[in-house]
Amino acid sequence: MTISDLTDRFGLLAVGLAAFVVVMLALYGLAELASRRNRSRLVATVFLFPAVLFLGVGLVYPAVRTVVMSFFSDDGSAFVGFENYGWVFSNDDALQTLVNTALWIVIVPLLSTALGLVYAVLVDGRKGERVYKALVFLPMGISFVGASIIWKFIYEYDASGAQIGLLNQVLVWVGIDPVNWLLNFPFNNFLLMVVLIWIEVGFATVVLSAALKGVPTEIIEAARIDGASPSEIFWNVTVPSIRSAIVVVAVTVFIATLKLYDIVKAMTGGHHGTDVLAQNMMDQAFRLGNDGRGATMAVLLFVLVIPVVIYQVRNMRRQELEAR
Amino acid sequence: MSVKTEPWAPKRPATDSGLGESSGERLRRILTSRLASIVAIVIAVLWTIPTAGLFITSFRPENDIRESGWWTVFTDPNFTLETYNYVLYSDSAGGGLVKNLINTVVITIPGVLVPVAFAAMAAYALSWIDFKGRNTLYIAMFALQVVPLQMALIPLLSFFSRGLAIGDFTIMPAWELDGVDTIVQVWIAHSIFGLPLAIFLLHNFMRELPRDVMEAARIDGASHSQTFRKVVLPLMTPALASIGIFQFLWVWNDFLVGRTFAPQSAAKPLTAVLGDMAGTWGFGWVRLPAAAFIAIIVPLIVFLLLQRYFVRGLLAGSVKG
């Protein structure tokens, strides 16, 4: 590393921060001017301008462009109608990608939420609850790439000699031959899912645990006095009481799973039958130069979240009404 | 969407039971509680082992990593800091990551400040300034939260590299950034992608501010910009901290955006380099644990120290865009 490596980077940072301060001061000055004239519409415009500009230029316009691109050929020169979509549903690799994605978005939210709920119930009110939760919550702070590296070492396979992967070592201890896990289709898909579940269970635990604290203890006591067994209490009292929190967790994990790219890219690169939509999209667009197909994959991702968007907006509208 | 407890409908009419429990019942209760303890401990241990394993591996000599698992250190301890030295400072292949670490820092600071500042302004306007179309605008931004950022990648990249033109008329010329300067694109991309969630969370917090306080400021003759700076921002500090931590973790840990908008090695953030190293699993794989731990440790410390704020943000409702 040389001095110029440092000055290049921190110089850029200084320039960037200075520009940011200038923009903020300018916006503040404009807002002040508009406020003095008491024109709230103008004030609102100033306050909203940066966000609306960024979202418009960086998210809305590109999203529309992507939809348009999905109807064009891979170099963007010719209109091809639904040909790219036809390819997705006829090409074997693309179909495998869709099947894998379907498995991911069902299994990961389901298991993460279920495990998080069970764990939250188990540690609720237990001595050392904070430590229990912190241990499981910890992976939330680790990047998907970091988690992939962690788990790649666990799945590591050595054809001859001592195993350095924990999973294979456990097999050896038990007396079974080690397995080359990540090449083992279709099981390798589940091993990749484990990584995301490992991360998301902590999220589920924390949110659901907070929701559990909101369930009045009298209700649980009453059920217990009525002679309900722990499992009855769990299913008939606990779960219904925190239903909305469970839905929030499942939906959030669902969206994270759908957009998942890093883990598949870092662990298998989408090879050996483990490709998913978001990883295939990047492959098509940036490695293979197939912009049309890449855009099509992105549109499919969007189509899959539309129900969630509608659900969320309706949910929010209802809450707004209740709050009024 | 926010987490709340649903009103519980009482069921199960009181039947045959009383307060006392028989000895059989008590035994069963103790057994289930034992079982619960065991399951909880097993889960906690299972969740901790992977990270601990990587941590131990990162301090082992390269040859040891190649030949035996990390659990052998308990019988045959052998540690070194050499790998850390190599991955951070060596000029050879797989080394010199300190530059990428600096890139990550340089990317993260504006990548957090800009979207949080812009989102705070927008959230204030959406909660406390009356104007026509406010609700529609808010709902639109709310919905953007779940739009996969993959939808925007290809056009946004071409927007930077080719500029924007209608027919022959150039609205914005191509940026033609090179080397370290491509980090500017990463700043902007992160600011854009972080906005919807930040606006949503800050709006949730801001709406909760007491109306009396806002009206008192108004009566004292404070303008909107003054109210924002002197009343709202100080009251919002915990909320800003919580959304700041979200965005920090997201930007620091990001792989996709950094890799797409800073593809040249000079500007790549640490996570992008790591992801590619892990993907190829080349001959330097024995150095991956040390490299990964350098990337993991900073967010992990921030995360542990500021967990309270992070959890508060989570509970205010979170769907990352």
Q: Where are the domains of chain B?
A: 24-80, 97-315
State whether A36 and A114 are in the same domain: no
Two tokens at A318?
Answer: 């209802």
Residue B192 touches chain A, beta carbons under 8 Å: yes
Of all residues in chain B, the percent with pLDDT exceeding 90 is 46
Dump pLDDT digits (tens) for A261-270: 999 999 999 9
pLDDT of residue B10: 42
Which chain A residue shows the shortest CA-CA distance from B142?
A313
pLDDT of residue B184: 95
In terms of residue numbers, what domain contains A41?
3-49
Q: Are A239 and A121 in contact (CB under 8 A)?
A: no
State whether A118 and A171 are in the same domain: yes
Two tokens at A159?
Answer: 């054809």
Minimal Cα–Cα distance from A305 to chain B, Å?
Answer: 7
The CATH class, in words, for B97-315 is mainly alpha
User: Rounded CA gap, B160 and A231, in Å?
Assistant: 57
State whether A168 and A317 are in the same domain: yes
State whether A43 and A104 are in the same domain: no
CATH of the domain at A232: 1.10.3720.10
User: Rounded CA gap, B268 and B258, in Å?
Assistant: 7
Is the pLDDT reported for residue B167 higher than 90?
A: no
What average pLDDT does this structure show over B185-194?
Answer: 96
Is the pLDDT reported for residue B15 higher than 70?
A: no
Upstream peptide bond of B238 is cis (omega within 30 degrees of 0): no
DSSP B72-124: GGGTS----SHHHHHHHH-SSTT--HHHHHHHHHHHHHHHHHHHHHHHHHHHH
What average pLDDT does this structure show over B42-69?
Answer: 94
Listed residue (B261, B159, B107) closest to A286, CA to CA: B261
Q: Are B196 and B115 in contact (CB under 8 A)?
A: no
A86 lies in some domain: no
Dump pLDDT digits (tens) for B83-142: 999 999 988 888 889 999 999 999 999 999 999 999 999 999 999 998 888 989 998 988
- Contact between A5 and B102 using a beta-carbon 8 Å cutoff: yes
- Taking the CA atoms of residue A51, residue A56, residue A58 and residue A63 in that order, the dihedral angle to the nearest 10 degrees is 140
| Torsion sign across C-alpha atoms B302, B307, B310, B314 | positive
User: Rounded CA gap, B271 and B79, in Å?
Assistant: 25
Q: Which of A58, A225, A319 sits opposite B19 (nearest CB)?
A: A225
Is the pLDDT reported for residue A300 higher than 50?
A: yes
DSSP B277-316: HHHHT-GGGGGHHHHHHHHHHHHHHHHHHTHHHHHHHHHT
Q: Which of residues 53-92 of A touch B (CB under 8 A)?
A: 54-55, 57-63, 65-66, 69
The more confidently predicted of residues B168 and A123 is A123
ipTM rounded to 2 decimals: 0.91
Q: Which of B134, B146, B187 sits opposite A16 (nearest CB)?
A: B187
Q: Are A120 and A212 in contact (CB under 8 A)?
A: yes
pLDDT of residue B259: 92
pLDDT of residue B21: 60
A67 lies in some domain: no
Q: With a threshold of 0.95, does the pTM exceed it?
A: no
pLDDT of residue B12: 42
Residues forming a β-bridge with A79: A72
Residues of B in contact with A278 (CB under 8 A): 148, 150
Q: What is the end-to-end Cα distance of chain A in Å, rounded?
A: 59
pLDDT of residue B111: 97
State whether A25 and A100 are in the same domain: no
Minimal Cα–Cα distance from A92 to chain B, Å?
Answer: 23
pLDDT of residue A11: 95
Residues of B in contact with A225 (CB under 8 A): 14, 17-19
Q: Are A148 and A237 in contact (CB under 8 A)?
A: no
Residue B155 touches chain A, beta carbons under 8 Å: yes
State whether A150 and A253 are in the same domain: yes
A84 lies in some domain: no
If one counts every other C-beta atom within 10 angstroms of the C-beta of residue B252, the result is: 24
- Contact between A282 and B132 using a beta-carbon 8 Å cutoff: no
